Amino acid sequence: MGAAPLTNGPVTVKISVVGAGNVGATTAQRIAEADLADVVLVDIIDGVPQGKALDLVQSAPVMGHSRAVLGTSNYEDTAGSDLVVITAGLPRKPGMTRDDLLRANADIVSGVVENVMRHSPDPILLVVSNPLDVMTELAFQRSELPAHRVLGMAGVLDSARFRAFIAMELHVAMEDVHAMVLGGHGDDMVPLPRFSTVAGIPITELIDEGTIERLVDRTRRGGGEIVSLLKTGSAFYAPSAAVYQMVEAIVRDKNRVLPAAARCEGQYGLDDQYVGVPVKLGRRGVVEIIELALTDAELAALHASAAHVAEQVAALAR
């Protein structure tokens, strides 16, 4: 039985989340409980998406929403999706880098994209699977969609971690802190202290250089720190929150400026490559890539991060 069309106000929207693990299921929960859209939750392990979807539906009366959540192992239920969030893939384990996941998750993501595109002619693909930037490039190649309709979630998450660490250091409200992290979603990501503020005040005026470097380093290791603590899993509350913020910006056509893995076509001196940059997000996906006036050092760091992503993409092609 196919899924019913989703509605969000006057515009018909259908959102599918592929991968019913912690990130995917929590993303589905956030979307439904915010009354943003109905959700189709997909996983190849029969029973898991159905069970989690039923659990979410049974929480709806308490949480006060009437959004439907359909769990399925059949991609036919995703037919006509306007937006597909891809979280499917193997999670990191202690001692494992995002790069270690490269080939295993490439096979998984390729299969997901093939199945999604068979049933949805023109979706927006939001990739969450790691290694993030490489999997986003792979989804772009396999889907043959326009670049603005394929993007990856990384910068919002990395920036959220940086924001949290800044707020904790200064003992200020989290909501007053804004930050920008560019580059690949890995150890060579590029947090930008000059573009990170507390109520509009640059953190360079509030925190000494040594402390900023410590917070930058912790941000780069943010995912690994959680993996080492959990021992049998990886982060999912912050990643799903980051996905939700991007989904909301797209579905509600908010034109929010957020960092995301987008395909640069000359911006920042990068050609035909996915990497984390500030973008304007709206109903068509990436409406615009925002070019910041970076210093030579910041631009060099971004290029170094992008070069690592390019190496991974090349390795995958071999």
Which residues are annotated as catalytic?
Answer: 185
SS3 307: helix
Between CA 121 and CA 181 the distance in angstroms is: 33
User: Residue 206 forms beta bridges with which residues?
Assistant: none
Please say whether the beta carbons of 60 and 89 come within 8 A.
no
Helix (H) or strand (E) holding 16: strand 15-18
Question: Token digits for 219?
Answer: 């941000």
Between CA 205 and CA 196 the distance in angstroms is: 11
Q: Which residue has the tokens 């999997």?
A: 135
Q: How distant is the alpha carbon of residue 83 from its chain centre?
A: 13
SS3 10: coil
